[in-house]
Amino acid sequence: MNTIMNEWKVNVREENHPLLEALSLRVPAAPRAFLRQLCKKQRITVDNHIAEADRCVHAGEIITVKTSRRWLECLEQSRLHPEQLLYEDEQCIVLNKPAGLAIHRAQGHDDNLLWRVQDFLRLRSETFRIAPVHRLDIGTSGAVLFGKGHAAISQLGKMIMAGQATKRYLALVSGCITLPGELNSAVPAKGRTKESLSRFRPIDSTDEFTLLEMELVTGRHHQIRHQLAIAGWPIIGDTRYQGKMVNGMNRPFLHCHRLAFPRPTTGAIIDVPCPLPEDLRRQLKALGFPEDNFQ
């Protein structure tokens, strides 16, 4: 029987902390004594080396945990899995939102990402205000940026509104597209239509489908979905915009796979990749796309 592993990369928030503290920040429902026991039993490695509980960790190192039933229970109680935390510092946190989960409370969707983050931070005894500074549709997966505290939320929100953040998506669409380009069609927004701009770059294609990287320049509701449909390239699984149903796909093949933004304290660009979820990987593999295009 294969041992299941949890694996994640140390981020800025955890840098130079002892391993025990870094683990507690990621899985706050886990008792310290239990985490220390995992270290003693050599069930945790850092960059593939057995690590002591008091060993300091550094940004970019890979923590790997051999799971157990109790560990998995602690993950569920923590509300966020450690792999979901893509980036964190003192002012913000970037999370990997799964498809089907709303960011805020929505009709028919009582569970939401904001509540999960609030619960997670309460377990850490961190009580500052937290809020998302942009949005993803319920059916879209990928990177979402949250601000910590009123000042950071305001500052990050202004950066988003000023176009200082770069959001890139992966979309699987009908049609064979071979050249990059732009979509600048108007999109319905709050009872009006507003000019909108998206850039696209084909990554690979078959006779029927193309995997596109989309850069969202303006940020209208359903912008990418609407513009691709108008262009004659609807997203696979996006039935609202006449997308084809392929291999039982029950949500739009749309994933925010990269988010870049200036760090409020320094202005340095934070570039956060977000891995493609397994259901979308399976779709690409089933349709014959090379796996090295979506690692």
Domains and CATH numbers, the chain: 1-78 (3.10.290.10), 165-262+269-293 (3.30.2350.10)
User: How far is Cα 259 from Cα 285, in angstroms, rounded to an integer?
Assistant: 25
Per-residue model confidence as pLDDT tens digits over 91-117:
999 999 999 999 998 777 779 999 999
Per-residue model confidence as pLDDT tens digits over 9-67:
999 999 999 999 999 999 999 999 999 999 999 999 999 999 999 999 999 999 999 99
User: How far is Cα 124 from Cα 78, in angstroms, rounded to an integer?
Assistant: 9
Residues 6+ apart with CB under 8 A from 33: none
Statement: residue 191 has pLDDT above 80? no
User: How far is Cα 156 from Cα 91, in angstroms, rounded to an integer?
Assistant: 9
CB 207 within 8 A of CB 270: no
For the chain, what percentages of helix, strand and coil (3-state, to nearest 5) are there? 25, 30, 40
CB 142 within 8 A of CB 169: yes
User: Rounded to the nearest 5°, which phi and psi values hold at 67?
Assistant: -80, 165
Per-residue model confidence as pLDDT tens digits over 236-246:
999 999 999 99
- pTM score, whole prediction: 0.93
User: How far is Cα 224 from Cα 181, in angstroms, rounded to an integer?
Assistant: 14
pLDDT of residue 288: 92
Residue with tokens 């980036």: 87
pLDDT of residue 134: 93
Per-residue model confidence as pLDDT tens digits over 65-86:
999 999 999 999 999 999 999 9
Per-residue model confidence as pLDDT tens digits over 151-181:
999 999 999 999 999 999 999 999 999 999 9
